[in-house]
A and B are shown apart, each in its own frame.
Chain A
Amino acid sequence: NAGVTQTPKFQVLKTGQSMTLQCAQDMNHNSMYWYRQDPGMGLRLIYYSASEGTTDKGEVPNGYNVSRLNKREFSLRLESAAPSQTSVYFCASSLTRGELFFGEGSRLTVL
């Protein structure tokens, strides 16, 4: 049972490049989330999907897009990466009442 799987785990981009972070969960959870974690800023919610077919903005959505491909998969896309998007990105899923289960994280550096 893998839980929440994120790919890639590490990525280096140049400013202006695009990329997609992939996330899949095998726990049959309804809700999925993308957070970023920066030193001194804590975990901040980028986007979430309460259920298959829906997505909503979180606290810091600018510069990102998401797709809830099906119940298992929730991807995060950076269309034109900026140095300010250098961060560790965590995908998480939840069945109910807010108990989030996190993936291992994706460390992104934008030069």
Chain B
Amino acid sequence: QKEVEQNSGPLSVPEGAIASLNCTYSDRVSQSFFWYRQYSGKSPELIMSIYSNGDKEDGRFTAQLNKASQYVSLLIRDSQPSDSATYLCAVSRGGADGLTFGKGTHLIIQP
């Protein structure tokens, strides 16, 4: 059974601070890792993908991957109220059989 675990939150962070979101996964053969953002009532939107150990930066977002620890994280620097959303961690074995999603972390950025 492939599982992806996230703290459901809510995680409350002051505006301008760093938001840190964490995710662990159970399937050791997972090859691809993704972070999606989902606003209330909307569809998930891909914001970051990471495929190898280490850090990947894209603007205010940094994804971190540690395959040995089966751990993925997302850092959001200079958090803005518009970052308030549910963040979904997803993993894949790298084929076309879809992603396994965590249940998401609800992030609230306090102005």
Q: Which A residues lie at the B interface, using CB under 8 A?
A: 30-31, 33, 35, 40-45, 48, 50-51, 56, 58, 90, 94, 97-105
Contacts and interface: CB of A to CB of B under 8 A. Distances in A.
Contacts, number: 65
A31 B99 CA distance: 12
A78 B100 CA distance: 23
A89 to B, nearest CB: 11
B98 A48 contact: yes
A30 B103 contact: no
Contacts of B44: 43, 90, 100, 102
Interface residues of B, number: 23
Given A33-B98, A97-B32, A105-B43, A43 B49 contact: no
Contact of A94 (B42, B96, B101): B96
Interface string B80-109: 000000001010101111111111100000
A104 B43 contact: yes
